């Protein structure tokens, strides 16, 4: 099974600009194991794949604010390069054109992660109508998926699920006990 992308791997790279959650071109390059210039060259060579809303180009004021608020971008303070960031759709489109073993693995890991989350969501929607044994199985699978996504370096040692039904309101508490592998 592929190791899935961990939340903390990309969490620090996501910034908010113009009400959009984006990842800078330089951070996308790190995720895909390539140079920023290669990311920008791929975008330049495939303009039809990046319609409006897929990439945000920073204004001078936005660039200044970025450098002031994020120390990791200090090197861009005097750069004359146009700054770009990928929206979620833009990042997915970038994944279709970036080549190389790490880029392919990263793309597969991202897709696997989203597929597992969607599967978890479908399972959780069955929870209210499931019998007790099925509810327990669903909760155990949910804990496993969430544990993998949030911290795959831990091993599950046990779990406990409490389910309360209160006049059509479901209250679920699930505790997962973990230790380092």
Q: For the chain, give every domain's residue range.
A: 7-111, 126-180
Greater pLDDT, 157 or 168 = 157
The predicted model scores a pTM of 0.58
Report the CATH fold assignment for 7-111.
Mlu1-box Binding Protein; DNA-binding Domain (3.10.260)
Residues present in the chain in total = 181
What pLDDT digit, counting tens, does each position of 146-157 carry?
A: 666 555 555 556
Q: Extract the tokens encoding 25.
A: 């071109």
Q: Is the pLDDT of residue 95 over 90?
A: no
C-alpha–C-alpha distance, residues 85 and 52, integer Å: 12
Q: Tokens 């959650």 correspond to what residue? A: 21
C-alpha–C-alpha distance, residues 73 and 164, integer Å: 48
- Residue 138 CB contacts under 8 Å (≥ 6 apart), including other chains: 123, 124, 126, 127, 130
Please say whether the beta carbons of 138 and 127 come within 8 A: yes
> What pLDDT was estimated at residue 152?
52
Q: Is the pLDDT of residue 83 over 70?
A: yes
C-alpha–C-alpha distance, residues 162 and 171, integer Å: 8
């Amino acid at each position: 099974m592929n190791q899935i992308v961990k939340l903390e791997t990309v969490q620090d790279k996501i910034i908010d600009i113009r009400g959009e959650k984006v990842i800078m071109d330089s951070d996308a390059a790190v995720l895909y194991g390539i140079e920023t210039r290669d990311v920008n060259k791929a975008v330049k060579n495939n303009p039809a794949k990046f319609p409006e809303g897929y990439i945000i180009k920073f204004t001078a004021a936005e660039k200044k604010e970025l450098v002031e608020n994020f120390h990791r971008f200090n090197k861009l303070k005097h750069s004359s390069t146009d700054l770009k960031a990928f929206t979620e759709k833009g990042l997915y489109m970038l994944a279709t054109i970036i080549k190389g073993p790490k880029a392919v693995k990263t793309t597969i890991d991202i897709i696997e992660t989203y597929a597992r989350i969607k599967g978890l969501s479908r399972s959780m929607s069955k929870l209210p109508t499931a019998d007790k044994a099925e509810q327990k199985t669903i909760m155990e699978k949910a804990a496993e998926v969430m544990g993998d996504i949030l911290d795959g370096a831990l091993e599950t040692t046990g779990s406990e699920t409490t389910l309360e039904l209160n006049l059509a309101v479901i209250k679920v508490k699930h505790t997962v006990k973990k230790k380092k592998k």
